[in-house]
Amino acid sequence: MNRPQWTRERTYIGGAWVETRGDICEVEDPATEKVIGRVRQATQADATQAVDAARAAAPAWGSTTPAYRIAALRALSTALRERGDLLVDTLVGEVGTPVSLARSSHLGQALTVLDSYAELLETFAFEDYLANTRVLRESAGVVAAITPWNYPLYQLIAKVAPALAAGCPVVVKPAELTPLSAFIVADAAEAIGLPPGVFNLVPGPGGEVGEVLATHPGVDVVSFTGSTRVGRRVAALAADTVKRVCLELGGKSASLMLPGADVERAVSATVANVMVNSGQTCAAWTRLLVPRSELDQSLAVAEAAASRQVVGDPRHEATELGPVISAAQRRSVLNYIEQAVAEGATLVEGGTERPRGLTVGHYVRPTVLTGVSPQSRIAQEEVFGPVLVVLPYEDVGDAVDLANATPYGLAGSVWGPDDERAFSVARRLRTGRVDVNGAAWNPSAPFGGYKQSGNGRELGSWGIEEFLETKAVQMPYAASGSR
C-alpha cells in the first residue's frame, strides 16, 4: 500500500477553495516518523471568514426540508464511499492506526453514523403539539466543530452529520496532527454541490483558530472533542457570548468483573478494548476491577492477552497495535509507566522498552500493571496509550466505589454471571455509557459523559437535539394533534 502524499495550500470556505494565510504544517506518519503531507494552516482572519460564510448560509440551509437534507446526507455518504480507499490510506498515514481498524472503526463507523442520520431524519419530529401550543425545534445556527486527532474522520462526521441534519451550517477545525482526512470530506462536500457556506474547513492551531470559533458571536454552538484541559478553556472562552457548548472530553473508564463472571472472556475483552487504536480512545476501559480472590487468574489472562497483540507496521493486515500519534505522546505514556513502577507497581506485561524489531516509529508495548493505589496518577489520569491497570476489590460495593472514584465518567463495562445482575451494577456507575457482557455498539444510542468527561450527547436523536433550539408558539385554539 502506498503512503498518501498530500500538499494542500488552500482550504474550503464559502463553497470555494481559498488561499489561506497561515504557516505550513507538516503531517508526520507516526509509524515511519517521515513527513507525508503539508497543509497551509488557516489564520484568525480565515476563521472569521469561514464563520461569516456559514452565517450567510444559515437562513437558507435552516429552512430546507428534512427531505432535502436527507438527500444531501446520502449524497455525502456516497461521495465518501467513493473515496473509501483514499480515506483508509490517509487515516493509516496520519494516525498510525492499523489498516484493518482504519477500515472498520475509523471509516466504517463514520459512514454508519452518517447513514443513521439520513434514516433518523425521515421520522424526526421538528414540530410537536401540546394543547394550544405548537412546539418547534429549529436550527440553532452556526456550529463550530473542533475535532481531535485520535479518530479524526469519525469525530468529524459525528458532529457534522447531526449538525447538517438539524439545519446548521458548520465550520470544522481538525486537529493539527491529523488534518488530511478532513480535506477529503471537504472534497466530497464540493463534489455533491453542498450549498456554499454549509461546510467550511479551517485547519490551524487551537490557540488561534479554535479560540476565534469559541469566542466569535456569529457561532451559536461549539461542539468540542478533546482533552478535559482544553475543554475547560473552550467553555470559558465561549461563556462571554453565552453560546451553547457541547463537550466530549477525557475518560478513565472501568471494566468491572463481578464474582462468577467468565474470567477469560471478561479479561481478554478488556485488554483488547484498551489496545484499540494504541489506547488512544477516550472511552477505553483502562481500569480492570476484579475480585481479590480472582486477581492471580485475571493477571495471568491479561498477561497472555497483551502478549498476543500483534504490534507492527499499521499497513499490514495482521497488525493489531500501531504506534501512538507522536514522539511527545510516546514520552507521556512512558512517563506514566515509569512513574508507576517507581512507586511500586508490578509490571505484568510490556513496559518502556521498544517492541522487538521496531527501531523507528512512536511505538509503545502493550502494557499491563497491577499493585498500584487506586489514587495513584496512573489509576486516576487518562494515559491515552496501550496501558491497562488491574485493581482488586473486596466486594461489589467496593468495586462500584472504585469505578466511580475518578473525576471522569465517560464509559465502562460490567461483566457478570448473568445479564440482569450485571445490569443492576451498571445502574450504579456514574458514567455515560456502560456495556454489559460485551454488548455491541449501537450508533443510535447517546454517547457522552458525566462529571469531567463533558456535557451534551452525540449520536442518535440526542445528537440532533444538541443543534436545535426549542420554540413554543401559543395558538388561540387547541393545535391539531395536541395531547
Rounded Cα–Cα distance for residues 323 and 317 (Å): 15
Q: Nine-digit cell at 454?
A: 463533558
Active site annotation includes 246: no
User: Which residue reads 473552550 in cell numbers?
Assistant: 234
> Helix, strand, or coil here: 21?
coil
Q: Nine-digit cell at 194?
A: 453542498
Rounded Cα–Cα distance for residues 447 and 433 (Å): 7
Rounded Cα–Cα distance for residues 454 and 471 (Å): 26
Q: Residue 3 has what DSSP assignment?
A: P
Q: Nine-digit cell at 353?
A: 522498552
Q: Rounded to a whole number, what is the distance in angstroms from the first to the last CA of the chain?
A: 59
Comparing CA positions, the residue from 169, 125, 128, 177 lying closest to residue 152 is 177
Q: Where are the alpha helices (DSSP H) in 168-283?
A: 180-191, 211-215, 228-239, 263-275
Q: Helix crossing, 152-166 with 180-191: angle to 10°? A: 40
State which amino acid sits at residue 262: D
Contacts of 181 (CB under 8 A, 6+ apart): 87, 90, 91, 94, 152, 153, 156, 174
Rounded Cα–Cα distance for residues 342 and 27 (Å): 35
Rounded Cα–Cα distance for residues 109 and 336 (Å): 31
Residue 326: strand pairing partners: none
Active site annotation includes 211: no
Q: Is the dihedral of CA 210, 214, 217, 218 positive or negative?
A: positive
The residue annotated as part of the active site, out of 28, 94, 246, 248, is 248
Q: Where are the alpha helices (DSSP H) in 26-151?
A: 44-62, 66-82, 84-95, 99-101, 109-121
The residue annotated as part of the active site, out of 282, 294, 320, 349, is 282
User: Which residue reads 425521515 in cell numbers?
Assistant: 122
Helix or strand (DSSP H, E) at 387: strand 387-393
State which amino acid sits at residue 188: A
Measured in degrees and rounded to the nearest 5, phi and psi for residue 160 equal -70, -45
Spacing of C-alpha 276 from chain mean position = 13
Q: Residue 261 has what DSSP assignment?
A: S
Catalytic site positions? 248, 282
